[in-house]
Structure 1
Amino acid sequence: MITILEQPLFGQRVRELRTARGLSQAALAEPGMSTSYLSRLESGARPPTAKVVAYLAERLEVPRSAFDNGSSSAVTQLLARGISAADGRGGGEDILDLLNDAVEVGTEVDTALHWQMLWMLTMSFSPGTDTAHQEQTLTRLVRLSDEIGLPELQVRSRVKLARFQRLSGSPELGSGVAEEAVALAREPGVDAGDLGRALLTAVSAEAESGRLTLAREHVDELCSLIEAHAELPPSLAAEARWSAASVRVRQGEYEAARDHLEAAMRNLDSHDDLLLWTRLRIAAASLYLQMTPRLTDRAAAALAEAEVPIGLIGTPLHEQEFHVVTAQLAFYQGDFERAEELCVKLASEPSLLSYRDGVRLEMLRIRLRFQAGAVREAVNEMTALATRLQDSSNTDLTAEAWRNLAEALTAAAEQSTLPQAR
């Protein structure tokens, strides 16, 4: 007995078979079905009837078994076991093992179902998952999305791969994949949210790989998209403004960056996404401390709001980001002991920080050596750091390093001219 695929798998299978034969929706639907009805079938909005299955099988010149889900029963069981292992009784490795088994068993089943299995597998990845396995899985996900031919799946697969490449230290590769996602997301009928996420991913990868002109173009398009689509998730809008702020900072436009970040904080409620709400405040505090003059009061207020939630829901990475900015604030407020204490704490942990946060932590440690009286050594270290940043074309970080050096030398000079107590 044939058991027909349920929606949305049925619609994905119809589209897969239709596109493989080079047929438009109109060519497949006529004469016995309206194009709009076929479109709703392919989108998963309408359930198939036996008559519809028979008609489509005839038009596509395939047996009715082409729409059978019987071959996926073993896969479905493995998927169910893998998903339910996340209820607290099974460990992360158990989930990964079961999902990997489902992927291997599922290589001979429906392409769309195989894609879904790979997607579930990527959702179970954690920071400790083997990176080579992650890349292989994400590459397969992209390939299968191209076989299916649904632009939405092609975009989402590429966004995942591009993010992975950026975070694993290959922003140039991530930039190329993200630009493919942006091009696909601009096709008619693709949801604005998919275009927004593709642009967001492209901006991050382009900025990190030094392609600031392109990043600026994409971030401006992203902000326009957010303004034009009030229905988009508040978290996506907030991330868009955060990305815009990051690009402005790299181009030295600190006032514009502040405006974007403060708009993101105003428009995102903590109930929408508490972690993002918290991270925005850490980012804002960091920006306030980069500005001239440094806005220490605003930085302190932002960190005070972030302190409780970061301790409750923050990952080790988020905690490190919070401690870096807290240490910077302590230094600029004159609490050198607290700044040193936090630097020692961070040095005792495996660093999870981004390159830019790591550089700012290094600047702070050099400033503390200035404060401790090791002026000559600190001057040499800050000069070497600024030169290295300049050679790598990190213009904003270079300017920040030279500014720190100038401030430290001015403070040292003022200290040496103070009258000595008798």
Structure 2
Amino acid sequence: MWGCSDQSSQGATTVTTSDLVGLRIKTVRRQRGLSQAQLAHPELSDSYVSLIESGKRTPTPAVLELLAQKLDCSLSYLINGVTAEQMEDIELALGYARLALENGEVTEARTRFAELLVNNNLTGLTTLRQETEFGLALANEACGDLDKAISILLKLREEELPQERRVEVTMVLCRAYRDSERLTEAVEVGERMLSGSARLPWTDPLVELAATLLSAYMHRGDLLRARQYAAELLNAADALGTPRSIVAANWMASNVAYLTGHNEEALSFAERAMAVQLENGHPRSVARTRLSLLQKRLRARPSEAHTVRDMLRATVAEFEQTSTSTIDRAKAHMELAYAEYMTGDLDKSVEHAVVGRNLLPEFGHMLGAEANLLLGRVYGSVGRSAEASTHVGSVRDWLTPLPDSRRSASIWYATAETMEQLSDSDGAVEAYQRALACVGV
């Protein structure tokens, strides 16, 4: 059980950094009605026991085990301040929370992680507490509460963490900033970590962090830097030769190629990532990669829209059966809505756009703006102008809470064009102005 290794590592840290172990020994000894000399005899000296109890000596693991036997208490209690039974309960609760998150039951996962954090027995178990807080941040992110996830991650980042955990925390923080359109902060946290790790050899977590940073470059329109960085990541992944690094590097190279107009190159990179993911990836990761690949095919090859639409219908069903988050499912329904629109099935397009939008947190999310824009176009195309205007007008409600970015500029511009088609000249002018403001003009 993964919790067993945590107990031993946590024990080593606590024994060498805290006076609590000595205090626990002293408390249990007194409860048992023993003197220091009685506890020590015959293996130890009473002076050595006195030094341990006062925190002036750090007992070895062997001495701790001996004292636990003499005191008739668990070694877990002396090390961590909890009994073996309490430790087992904590590990079991954390395991259930992690399983809920893995299975896509993100609301339940968030509740379980939050409940575990109020357990007083967790206070002295630093590694388990950090694991729980990281899980809660991931659950909040999956639920769409990015501000809460960021708050937890910022606090966690200030603590002493193992190197791999620090990389993971930084990656999720960078991703949450990016998805919140706080792109300057996303770049800052990513660059700070990677520049500090410049002399370390590439690892899968570092490649994935670098890929997240690269996506932040793309979101803010720094495509030259993104293209240079994509080439660096491909070289790193080829040197590592691991599935995780190959998927991350090729996927980001695909995104950069797509944004710079190299559509066939983008599909080539994406198909390589998909092939490796199919052989090695978790079903959730396979589903996400497949969705993104189909998205690129739909944009790059409009003539294949019917084929891609049929594949997207299967992908939506795959998402429903796989442990994907509500945000992931919203993306899948939105992409299918676009495909249905392109192939002329407007009723299906509306159906999936509404499902996707309703899966999102209320306002403050790009996908919600895109869903309403698509609904406006669909209704406008069949002459239902009033409904079209209502949906297009609500794009403002979804975009306004978000920081200015390249992506929001694109949506504002598309909204302005749609408003012109709906004869809303004043609204179009305002939307064009917002688009220009987003790019600093």
Length-normalised TM-score, structure 1: 0.64
Q: Which runs of 5+ in 2 are unaligned?
A: 1-5, 18-55, 65-75, 101-107, 423-441
2:150 and 2:176 in contact (8 A); partners too: yes
Bigger relative contact order (CA 8 A; separation at least 6): 2
1:320 and 1:346 in contact (8 A); partners too: yes
Aligned counterpart in structure 1 of residue 315 of structure 2, from 294, 298, 306: 306
With over 3 angstroms needed to count, the CA separation of the structure-2 counterparts of 1:87 and 1:382, relative to structure 1, is closer
Identity of aligned residues (%): 17
CA distance in 1, matches of 2:130, 2:255: 32
2:214 and 2:229 in contact (8 A); partners too: yes
Per-residue CA deviations over 1:313-358 (Å, capped at 9, x if unaligned) read: 1333222222212121122112222223333444555458995544
Q: Pick which of 209-218 and 259-268 moved more.
A: 209-218
1:157 is paired with a residue whose SS is helix
With over 3 angstroms needed to count, the CA separation of the structure-2 counterparts of 1:383 and 1:15, relative to structure 1, is same
Aligned counterpart in structure 1 of residue 291 of structure 2, from 282, 289, 293: 282
Aligned counterpart in structure 1 of residue 186 of structure 2, from 169, 174, 180: 174
Per-residue CA deviations over 1:85-131 (Å, capped at 9, x if unaligned) read: 2566996535433334458732xxxxxx6255313321244235976
With over 3 angstroms needed to count, the CA separation of the structure-2 counterparts of 1:98 and 1:203, relative to structure 1, is same
Per-residue CA deviations over 1:16-46 (Å, capped at 9, x if unaligned) read: 9xxxxxxxxxxxxxxxxxxxxxxxxxxxxxx
Residue 215 in 1 paired to residue 240 in 2?
no
Per-residue CA deviations over 1:48-101 (Å, capped at 9, x if unaligned) read: xxxxxxxxxxxxxx8434987834233986654233125669965354333344
Residue 159 in 1 paired to residue 171 in 2?
yes
Q: Counterpart in 2 of 1:194? A: 205
Q: Counterpart in 2 of 1:319? A: 329
Deviation of 1:245 (Å): 2.3
Per-residue CA deviations over 1:228-260 (Å, capped at 9, x if unaligned) read: 222x2x344323322222233333332222222
Q: Counterpart in 1 of 2:154? A: 139
Per-residue CA deviations over 1:176-212 (Å, capped at 9, x if unaligned) read: 1111221233333x55213212202212333334433
CA distance in 2, matches of 1:291, 1:280: 16
Residues 61-210 of structure 1 aligned to structure 2 (within 5 Å): 63-65=57-59, 70-74=78-82, 80-86=88-94, 92=109, 93-101=111-119, 105-106=123-124, 114-125=126-137, 126-127=139-140, 134-145=149-160, 151-188=163-200, 190=201, 192-210=203-221
1:204 and 1:243 in contact (8 A); partners too: yes
Deviation of 1:217 (Å): 3.0
Q: Counterpart in 2 of 1:249? A: 258
1:287 is paired with a residue whose SS is helix
Q: Counterpart in 2 of 1:260? A: 269
With over 3 angstroms needed to count, the CA separation of the structure-2 counterparts of 1:191 and 1:354, relative to structure 1, is farther
Length-normalised TM-score, structure 2: 0.62
1:64 is paired with a residue whose SS is coil
CA distance in 1, matches of 2:261, 2:121: 47
2:291 and 2:312 in contact (8 A); partners too: yes
